[in-house]
Amino acid sequence: MMSVVGAQPFIKPMQPTPSVSPGGQRRHTLPASEVRPLNTQDAISVFEIEREAFISVSGECPLHLDEVRHFLTLCPELSMGWIEEGRLVAFIIGSLWDQDRLTADALTLHKPRGSTVHIHILAVHRTFRQQGKGNILLWRYLQYLRCLPNVRRAVLMCEDDLIPFYRKSGFKVLGRCAITVANMTFTEMWYPISGHAYMRRNSEAIRFPQHLLTQHPLTLPLEKTDEQADV
């Protein structure tokens, strides 16, 4: 979908020490923690987390199951999932947009020639909230976007009570969003994407498939070093 000429970001899973059974044979163990792009096989897990997180609060899901599958088919490289012991615990889904501000079409369309990443949703499984995972995953995602040479900014729409969370991650308010859902209104926020992703030797990371991204490896730290949010 998107040509990449400058860098191939990858994050490979943390590798635990192999377990050894009393008989001396190694047992298969899942990575303790990994971050990877999502695919259509993750769609149901994504939707279950999303439905629990949003329906109880607003009565609306940002993306329905068919829309989750739609974006994970068209632009899986603009998604990111946090996996712990084989279980999805947090995720982000994005797509490309080609206008200065979001319109209703941005909710369902992916514009391959766009230079703006529209972040549709960030959600954390209820069991893993209040641990800073949302903040860490968002920071990781924004660092990853720096590796995509055609991307110039990220945008999102959120309810007013979430503005402090996104401001803490560096987003700035653009103004009231033109999109309304039922009786809900939103604020549109943006984040500039420039420079190169933070590089650090010996950090643990995940590999993004080579058919999606093709150039040099880039390593991103697994965790944000300072502040952690409550999401």
Instruction: Please give the residue that has the higher pLDDT: either 13 or 73.
Output: 73
Statement: residue 49 has pLDDT above 70: yes
Catalytic, 88? Answer no
Distances (CA, A) of 107 to 53, 68, 95, 198: 19, 11, 9, 30
pTM of the shown model: 0.74
Question: 109-163 pLDDT, tens per residue?
Answer: 999 999 999 999 999 999 898 889 999 999 999 999 999 989 999 999 999 999 9
- Whole-number mean pLDDT of the chain? 78
Q: Which of 122, 145, 218, 222 is catalytic?
A: 122
Which ranges in 8-132 belong to alpha helices (H)?
43-58, 65-74
Q: Work out the average pLDDT over 71-90.
A: 96
Distance CA 230, CA 216 (A): 34
According to DSSP, residue 47 is labeled H
Contact (CB, 8 A) for 108 and 70:
yes
Catalytic, 120? Answer yes
- Direct distance between the N- and C-terminal alpha carbons of the chain, in angstroms, rounded to an integer: 31
CATH match for 33-192 among 3.40.630.30, 1.10.357.10, 3.30.1490.20, 3.40.50.2300: 3.40.630.30
Tokens 């009570």, located at residue? 161
Q: Which of 110, 118, 120, 125 is catalytic?
A: 120
Q: Which of 79, 144, 148, 166 is catalytic?
A: 166
Statement: residue 231 has pLDDT above 60: no
Q: Which of 88, 95, 137, 220 is catalytic?
A: 95
CB burial string 32-44: b at 16+ within 10 A, e below: ebbbbbbeeebbe
Catalytic, 125? Answer no
Domain ranges (residues) in the chain: 33-192
Catalytic, 3? Answer no
Residue 6: both structure tokens together: 């400058």
Contacts of 200 (CB under 8 A, 6+ apart): 219, 220, 221
Catalytic, 109? Answer yes
Rg (CA), the chain: 18
Tokens 């899973």, located at residue? 13
Question: 159-198 pLDDT, tens per residue?
Answer: 999 999 999 999 999 999 999 988 889 999 999 997 655 4
Q: Which of 65, 74, 107, 109 is catalytic?
A: 109
